[in-house]
Amino acid sequence: MEQKFDFWKWHDRNYLKLLIIPLLIFILSISYVAYFYSQNNDFIRKDISLTGGTTITLYDNSVDISKLREDLSEKLEDLNLREISNIFTKKREAILIQTKSNPDKAKKILEDYLGYSLNEKNSSFEFTGPSLSQNFYLQLLLSIIYAFSFMGVVVFFLFSKKSKQKNLTLLLILLSPTLFIFLKIISINLAIIIALISLIISLFIFFTYNIPSFAVIVSAFADIFMTIAIIDLLGIRVSSAGIVALLMLIGYSVDTDILLTTRMLKREEGDLNERIFSAFKTGITMTLTSILAIFTAYLITHNISDILGQIFFIILVGLFFDLMNTWITNVSILKWHLLSREGVRK
Domain definitions of the chain by residue range: 16-46+131-339, 53-128
Cα dihedral across residues 328, 334, 337, 342: positive or negative: negative
User: What phi and psi values does residue 268 have, to the nearest 5 degrees?
Assistant: -105, -15
The pTM (predicted TM-score) of the whole model is 0.81
Cβ atoms of 70 and 141 closer than 8 Å? no
Q: Does domain 53-128 have CATH number 3.30.70?
A: yes
Question: CATH topology for 16-46+131-339?
Answer: Multidrug efflux transporter AcrB transmembrane fold (1.20.1640)
| pLDDT in single tens digits along all 346 residues of the chain | 445 677 888 888 999 999 999 999 999 999 999 999 899 888 888 888 787 788 888 888 788 888 888 888 888 888 888 887 776 666 777 888 888 888 888 888 888 888 888 888 888 888 877 665 667 777 777 777 777 777 777 777 777 666 676 677 667 666 766 666 666 666 666 776 776 777 677 667 666 667 787 788 888 889 999 999 999 999 988 888 888 898 888 888 888 888 888 888 877 777 888 999 999 999 999 999 999 999 999 988 877 777 888 999 999 999 999 999 999 999 999 899 888 864 455 5
333 residue type, one letter: I
40-to-33, 77, 93, 241 alpha-carbon distances in Å: 10, 16, 34, 21
* pLDDT, tens only, 3-39: 567 788 888 899 999 999 999 999 999 999 999 989 9
Please give the full DSSP string across 230-279, using - where no structure is assigned.
HHHHTT-EE-HHHHHHHHHHHHHHHHHHHHHHHHHHH--SS-HHHHHHHH
Cβ atoms of 252 and 289 closer than 8 Å? no
163 residue type, one letter: S
